[in-house]
């Protein structure tokens, strides 16, 4: 029954999609400045049906209705309620339904909130957005339907994978999707802008809140994913340049570039074509990311179970999107003249875009290159963290300097005196640094430069905050907080990397290992029976020989029965100054256990800095939203 309700609702959404396109096209030709009221109603109905369909699926999960294949494959009666609900979007079909929801909800919200803007522009946006919606609905109905039913109804579900039952993992997809899918609306708006000719400053104002919303959620989504990886996956890292991680990072670079360029478009009414390109590029990257992750073309620790037919559908959709975007862009493109002085804020924002595009291109090439080589010359290579670190890190140095300096430069033209003073600071810092390297003969120039540049940004940001506290300028404050967060993030990642202690060794119960000024005692081994798993728990005593402080770390090896899985739970002690990280695994056919011990300085500050970046964005949302 749920199956029929669900499918009917989706079909209704589809029908209302067609209706919206039809009525909006008609309304384009009418005179008058306001949109026909019926179009609002159609969009509202569409939104209601979409949300209801999602609730239908959630109900299926809550009540463990195994007549739905999706519930059968991804849920289980023994799952706690919270994870039953989260299971709704934790699988391919359910997450696609979430995509559709966000597409539809944003479509309606944009329609309602853009009432100050040009009628045809809004109508075209609705039309293009609904074309996207219809495209996704066809994919959903024909290939990945969450409401497909199975008969006879199984008694129990299959989905009790313990790794997926985690709070961070539960909210990570919705956060990311508001980012990923949220950028669909300004893809449609960009197409609409080209078709209707509604551009410039007003166009920038129409999309800027949406860009900021998607940016904030994308940033948060990525951060939550990293925090989850650190605490749950047991390798002590938080970013692996895995293709699925890269897929979420690519749109982030584009949205960041877009967010900055919008400032220029709004303030100086220039860079319109570039803004359009970025709008079109961002959602294209989201769909490309979905293609890479769900089609099975790449292997990764993240991928959903793979099915080649999905890949074909998504590739088709992606191709149609790219070709129509290119066609419309080239048809409607008008040449622009640019008026950029070298010492102007516009140029610095262009520089931000320059760097963002570089990072984007690097990550894109790194992710796609193995596919190209495999297809063209049948050679399999791996592109992993060393590649990205080597290529990207050197350029983070100038970026940090530019981030400190750029916002201080005035629009249009900056006075030489101010500019030269800033330049002097940078050169002074670099000279001192070179002296240090020359005399201490230690460490790479690169790590020195990273610290110098990060500290430069941090100090400047603190100075700015001091000035701004009196002014109460929310836009400026949010910018400083985000930039400060970024500077701190690079700084703490740098420290963490330089001063981390990591050892991999084998130990038997009763043995002790000494590493630097730490002593690790493998005191005992215990077993524990829990509701759905058996655990082997190691009790380790960690002594800091410098100050005789003692900690106890208890890593676990968990054996789950349904499905049969083995997981390794790291023992993590998080403190303000550093984290201790210990994992243990059994060496096959031996009494020895392989121990990985890490001491990670300032780990929690990495998370705090990253959240600060997102916080800046959220602050800005709460201020500007009422202002245009």
Partner 1 sequence: MKLKIFILLFYVLSVGLTHSSENQTKLLEIYKNLRCLVCQGQSIADSNSDFAATIKLVVEDQFNEGKTEDEIYSFLISKYGEWIVYQPTFNKNNFLLWVLPYLIFIFGGFIIFLIVRKTKYNRVN
Partner 2 sequence: MKISISKIIIFSFVIFLLSVFWMGLKINNNYDTKSLVGNKISKFHLIEIYDDAQHISEDDLKKKKFTLINFFASWCAPCRTEHKYLLKLSKERKKIKIIGINFKDKKNNAINFLEELGDPYSFVGKDSEGRISILFGIYGIPESILVDSNLTIIKKIVGPIDQIQYDEILKITK
Contacts with 129 (C-beta within 8 Å, 6 or more apart), sequence order = 103, 106, 107, 110, 184, 185, 188
Distance, in Å, from the CA atom of 339 to the CA atom of 268, rounded to the nearest integer, reads 9
Is residue 384 within 8 Å of 241, Cβ to Cβ?
A: yes
Binding marks (x or -) toward partner 2, 316..335, rule CB under 8 A? --xx--xx--x---xx----
Q: Which of residues 2-61 bind partner 1 (CB under 8 A)?
A: none
Residue 210 beta carbon to partner 1: minimum distance, rounded to whole angstroms: 26
Q: Which of residues 41-80 bind partner 2 (CB under 8 A)?
A: none
Q: Which of residues 213-252 bind partner 2 (CB under 8 A)?
A: none
Residue 375 beta carbon to partner 2: minimum distance, rounded to whole angstroms: 5
**The entry of partner 2, partner 1, none that residue 510 binds, CB within 5 to 8 Å by partner kind:** none
The two structure tokens encoding residue 458: 């941090």
Q: Is 378 in the site for partner 1 (CB under 8 A)?
A: no
Is residue 578 within 8 Å of 601, Cβ to Cβ?
A: yes
Q: Which is nearer to partner 2, 285 or 400 (CB)?
A: 285
Residue 88 beta carbon to partner 2: minimum distance, rounded to whole angstroms: 28
Q: Is 296 in the site for partner 1 (CB under 8 A)?
A: no
Q: Is 588 in the site for partner 2 (CB under 8 A)?
A: yes
Q: Which is nearer to partner 1, 140 or 399 (CB)?
A: 399
**The entry of partner 1, partner 2, none that residue 465 binds, CB within 5 to 8 Å by partner kind:** none
Distance, in Å, from the CA atom of 328 to the CA atom of 196, rounded to the nearest integer, reads 11
**The entry of partner 1, partner 2, none that residue 452 binds, CB within 5 to 8 Å by partner kind:** partner 1
H or E element that contains 597: strand 593-601
Residue 91 beta carbon to partner 2: minimum distance, rounded to whole angstroms: 21
Q: Is 305 in the site for partner 2 (CB under 8 A)?
A: no
Is residue 156 within 8 Å of 215, Cβ to Cβ?
A: no
Distance, in Å, from the CA atom of 73 to the CA atom of 160, rounded to the nearest integer, reads 9
Residue 168 beta carbon to partner 1: minimum distance, rounded to whole angstroms: 19
Q: Is 393 in the site for partner 1 (CB under 8 A)?
A: no
- Our CA angle for 240, 172, 127, nearest 5°, is 110
Residue 308 beta carbon to partner 2: minimum distance, rounded to whole angstroms: 6
Q: Is 594 in the site for partner 1 (CB under 8 A)?
A: yes
Q: Is 295 in the site for partner 2 (CB under 8 A)?
A: yes
The two structure tokens encoding residue 517: 């000024």
Cβ atoms < 10 Å from Cβ of 298? 21
Q: Which of 299, 339, 473, 527 binds partner 2 (CB under 8 A)?
A: 299
Residue 311 beta carbon to partner 2: minimum distance, rounded to whole angstroms: 5
Tell me which residue has tokens 């605490």.
Answer: 231
Q: Is 240 in the site for partner 1 (CB under 8 A)?
A: yes
Distances (CA, A) of 589 to 510, 555, 584: 19, 20, 15
Q: Which is nearer to partner 2, 322 or 604 (CB)?
A: 322
Q: Is 197 in the site for partner 2 (CB under 8 A)?
A: no
Stretch that binds partner 2, among 95-103, 310-318, 342-350, 467-475 (CB under 8 A): 310-318
Cβ atoms < 10 Å from Cβ of 267? 15
Q: Is 354 in the site for partner 1 (CB under 8 A)?
A: yes
Contacts with 314 (C-beta within 8 Å, 6 or more apart), sequence order = 139, 287, 290, 291, 294, 295
Is residue 46 within 8 Å of 108, Cβ to Cβ?
A: yes
Q: Is 371 in the site for partner 1 (CB under 8 A)?
A: no
Preceding peptide of 563 cis, ω within 30°:
yes
Q: Is 33 in the site for partner 2 (CB under 8 A)?
A: no
Tell me which residue has tokens 């009432």.
Answer: 115
**The entry of partner 1, partner 2, none that residue 549 binds, CB within 5 to 8 Å by partner kind:** none
Contacts with 592 (C-beta within 8 Å, 6 or more apart), sequence order = 506, 507, 508
Q: Is 285 in the site for partner 2 (CB under 8 A)?
A: no
Residue 549 beta carbon to partner 2: minimum distance, rounded to whole angstroms: 38
Residue 328 beta carbon to partner 2: minimum distance, rounded to whole angstroms: 10
Count the site residues for partner 2 by CB under 8 A. Answer: 27
Distance, in Å, from the CA atom of 503 to the CA atom of 495, rounded to the nearest integer, reads 18
The phi-psi region of residue 472 (left if phi > 0; otherwise alpha if psi is between -120 and 50; otherwise beta) is left
Q: Is 250 in the site for partner 1 (CB under 8 A)?
A: no
Q: Which is nearer to partner 1, 157 or 234 (CB)?
A: 234
Q: Is 362 in the site for partner 1 (CB under 8 A)?
A: yes
Q: Which of 131, 357, 418, 468 binds partner 1 (CB under 8 A)?
A: 357
Q: Is 374 in the site for partner 2 (CB under 8 A)?
A: yes
Stretch that binds partner 1, among 37-45, 88-96, 230-238, 319-327 (CB under 8 A): 230-238
**The entry of partner 2, partner 1, none that residue 594 binds, CB within 5 to 8 Å by partner kind:** partner 1
Distance, in Å, from the CA atom of 625 to the CA atom of 242, rounded to the nearest integer, reads 36
First vs last C-alpha separation in the chain: 47
Contacts with 450 (C-beta within 8 Å, 6 or more apart), sequence order = 393, 396, 397, 400, 490, 494
Residue 187 beta carbon to partner 1: minimum distance, rounded to whole angstroms: 23
Distance, in Å, from the CA atom of 613 to the CA atom of 618, rounded to the nearest integer, reads 9
Residue 507 beta carbon to partner 1: minimum distance, rounded to whole angstroms: 14
Binding marks (x or -) toward partner 1, 566..585, rule CB under 8 A? --x--------------x-x
Q: Which of 381, 423, 446, 550 binds partner 1 (CB under 8 A)?
A: 381
- Our CA angle for 370, 375, 380, nearest 5°, is 40
Distance, in Å, from the CA atom of 393 to the CA atom of 503, rounded to the nearest integer, reads 25
The H helix count followed by the E strand count for the chain is 18, 10
- 3-state SS class at 295: coil
Is residue 593 within 8 Å of 587, Cβ to Cβ?
A: yes
Residue 540 beta carbon to partner 1: minimum distance, rounded to whole angstroms: 17
**The entry of partner 1, partner 2, none that residue 267 binds, CB within 5 to 8 Å by partner kind:** none
Q: Which of 163, 312, 327, 390 binds partner 1 (CB under 8 A)?
A: 390
Q: Which is nearer to partner 2, 36 or 324 (CB)?
A: 324
Contacts with 203 (C-beta within 8 Å, 6 or more apart), sequence order = 121, 189, 193, 265, 272, 275
Q: Which of residues 115-174 bind partner 2 (CB under 8 A)?
A: none
Binding marks (x or -) toward partner 1, 450..479, rule CB under 8 A? -xx--xx--x--------------------
Binding site for partner 2 (CB under 8 A): 291, 295-299, 308, 311-312, 315, 318-319, 322-323, 326, 330-331, 371-372, 374-376, 378-380, 588-589
């Amino acid at each position: 029954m749920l199956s029929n309700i669900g499918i009917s609702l989706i079909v209704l959404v589809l029908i209302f999609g067609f209706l919206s396109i039809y009525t909006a096209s008609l309304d384009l030709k009418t005179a008058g400045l306001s949109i026909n009221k019926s179009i609002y109603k159609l969009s509202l109905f569409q939104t209601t049906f979409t949300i209801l369909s999602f609730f239908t699926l959630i109900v299926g999960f809550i009540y463990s209705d195994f007549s739905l294949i999706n519930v059968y494959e991804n849920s289980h009666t023994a799952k706690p309620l919270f994870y039953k609900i989260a299971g709704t979007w934790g699988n391919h079909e359910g997450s696609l339904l979430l995509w559709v929801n966000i597409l539809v909800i944003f479509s309606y919200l944009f329609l309602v909130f853009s009432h100050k803007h040009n009628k045809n522009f809004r109508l075209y946006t609705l039309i293009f957005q609904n074309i996207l919606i219809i495209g996704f609905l066809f994919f959903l109905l024909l290939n990945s339907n969450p409401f497909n039913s199975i008969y006879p109804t199984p008694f129990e579900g299959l989905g009790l994978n313990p790794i997926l039952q985690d709070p961070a993992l539960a909210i990570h997809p919705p956060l990311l999707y508001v980012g990923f899918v949220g950028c669909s609306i300004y893809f449609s708006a960009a197409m609409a802008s080209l078709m209707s000719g509604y551009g410039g400053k007003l166009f920038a104002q129409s999309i800027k809140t949406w860009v900021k919303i998607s940016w904030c959620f994308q940033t948060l989504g990525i951060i939550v994913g990293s925090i989850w990886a650190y605490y749950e996956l047991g390798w002590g890292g938080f970013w692996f340049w895995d293709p699925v991680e890269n897929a979420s990072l690519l749109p982030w670079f584009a949205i960041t570039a877009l967010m900055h360029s919008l400032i220029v478009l709004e303030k100086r009414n220039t860079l319109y074509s570039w803004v359009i390109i970025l709008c079109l590029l961002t959602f294209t990257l989201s769909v490309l990311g979905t293609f890479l992750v769900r089609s099975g073309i790449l292997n990764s620790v993240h991928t959903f179970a793979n099915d080649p037919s999905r890949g074909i559908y998504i590739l088709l959709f992606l191709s149609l999107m790219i070709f129509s975007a290119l066609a419309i862009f080239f048809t409607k493109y008008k040449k622009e003249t640019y008026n950029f002085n070298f010492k102007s804020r516009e140029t610095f924002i262009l520089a931000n875009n320059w760097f963002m595009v570089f990072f984007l291109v690097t990550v894109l090439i790194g992710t796609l290159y193995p596919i190209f080589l495999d297809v063209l010359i049948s050679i399999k290579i791996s592109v992993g963290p060393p590649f990205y670190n080597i290529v990207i890190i050197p350029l983070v140095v100038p970026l940090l300097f530019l981030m400190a300096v750029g916002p201080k430069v005035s629009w249009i033209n900056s006075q030489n005196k101010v500019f030269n003073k800033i330049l002097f600071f940078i050169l002074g810092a670099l000279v001192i640094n070179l002296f240090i390297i020359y005399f201490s003969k230690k460490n790479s120039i690169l790590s020195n430069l990273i610290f110098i540049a990060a500290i430069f940004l941090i100090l400047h940001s603190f100075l700015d905050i001091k000035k701004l506290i009196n002014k109460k300028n929310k836009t400026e404050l949010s910018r400083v907080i985000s930039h400060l967060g970024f500077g701190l993030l690079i700084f703490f990642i740098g420290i963490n990397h330089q001063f981390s202690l990591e050892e991999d060794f084998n130990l038997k119960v009763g043995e002790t290992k000494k590493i630097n000024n730490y002593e690790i005692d493998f005191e005992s081994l215990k077993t524990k029976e829990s509701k759905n798993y058996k655990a082997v728990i190691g009790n380790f005593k960690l002594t800091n020989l410098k100050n005789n402080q003692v900690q106890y770390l208890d890593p676990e090896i968990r054996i789950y029965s349904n499905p049969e899985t083995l997981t390794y739970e790291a023992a993590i002690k998080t403190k303000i100054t550093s984290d201790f990280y210990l994992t243990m695994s059994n060496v096959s056919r031996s009494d020895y256990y392989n121990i990985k011990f890490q001491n990670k300085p300032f780990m929690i500050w990495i998370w705090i800095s990253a959240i600060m970046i997102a916080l800046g964005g959220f602050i800005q949302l709460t201020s500007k939203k009422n202002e245009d």
